Amino acid sequence: MEPLLLRPNYISPVWSGSRINEARGIEGDASYGESFDVSVHEGLVNVVEGGPYDGVPLDELVREHRAQIMGDLEDDGIVQVLVMDAADNLSVQVHPDEAYAQAHEGDHEKTESWYILAAEPGAFIYCGTTTDDVDALRRAAEDDSIGERYCRKVPVSEGDFVLVPAGTLHALGKGVFALEVGSLGFKTYRICDWGRGRELHVKQGFDVLRTQSRPEPNHLGAFDPAAPAQTRRGITYRLFVSDVIDVRGTWECETDGRYEVLSCVAGSARIRTQGGVVELPFTRSALVPASAGGYVIEGTCRVLRSFATRPGEIV
């Protein structure tokens, strides 16, 4: 089976910027602040774009060709990838872990990571709290001031990669353009929306909040086309891993009996397998099925290589 390019699902939240439109040559009046590029989550399922499976929903393709796509992985979920451009702050939110999501939402844990594609001077993310005083946090949530009063402001720049575990209070800040790699769930509890009036989920948010979670970015630096090729670990979590690959010409990899998701975060890439070839421009992602056995990345580019981990696996 050839690499699968998927048709993005575009959304225009109230905080949308224009950089997704610009990167992908999208014209029109709508600014798409979010592009869901790889997902089999209900309501967000992508369909295949081009090739022999053009127009087939990804979840349907997984059911019909499970062994070819998933390999020896037991779960049918796919590592999720989306792109976000924040012209204004996103809501301050928190996501449930596996136990809470299963018990209360019939969903899976949502742990996510952000690779910073670009950031305006002085831009930051909100990541964790400045206090462990839950009563103080609850009082601030009552008047929608928790974001400014108690969220940690973490400066970011191009090439930073930060893991945001379930339970972490967080928000993408104004001026940040990011690609998100995340686990199988998609439940979000808003605790603060900066007075915009959208629905909040304060009770559930405090049910799952972990005030001790205060992540720091992995500072990988901006892509330098003149620098030597290299591969580095971007983030590691028990559910998924993402490597950062700087390519000069070609880079080869085996799929190790499972699918991989490749995301172009600088330059443009070509993904070649024995089954076929897909072009991967800046910000786009493709799914390489397990049956490919391996692939070659061609170009002068930076690519994220993301994959699900097996239970108990150390990577």
Alpha carbon distance 158, 87 (integer Å): 16
Strand partners, 296: 252, 272
List the structure tokens of 185.
């769930």
- Torsion sign across C-alpha atoms 19, 93, 8, 299: positive
> Could you tell me how far CA 83 lies from the centroid of its own chain?
7
- Torsion sign across C-alpha atoms 142, 147, 150, 151: positive
> Is-catalytic flag, 190?
yes
Buried b (16+ CB within 10 A) or exposed e, 297-310: bbbbbbbbbbbbbe
Strands 218-219, 269-273: parallel, antiparallel or unpaired by DSSP? unpaired
Buried b (16+ CB within 10 A) or exposed e, 172-189: bbbbbbbbbbbbbbbbbb
Calculate ∠ Cα 269-259-310, nearest 5°.
135
List the structure tokens of 223.
């892509």
From the list 190, 272, 302, 305, the catalytic residue is 190
What does each C-alpha distance from 259 to 3, 24, 236, 250 come to in angstroms? 10, 25, 17, 20
Residues 6+ apart with CB under 8 A from 30: 10, 12, 21
- Torsion sign across C-alpha atoms 140, 143, 146, 150: negative
Active-site residues, by number, are 190
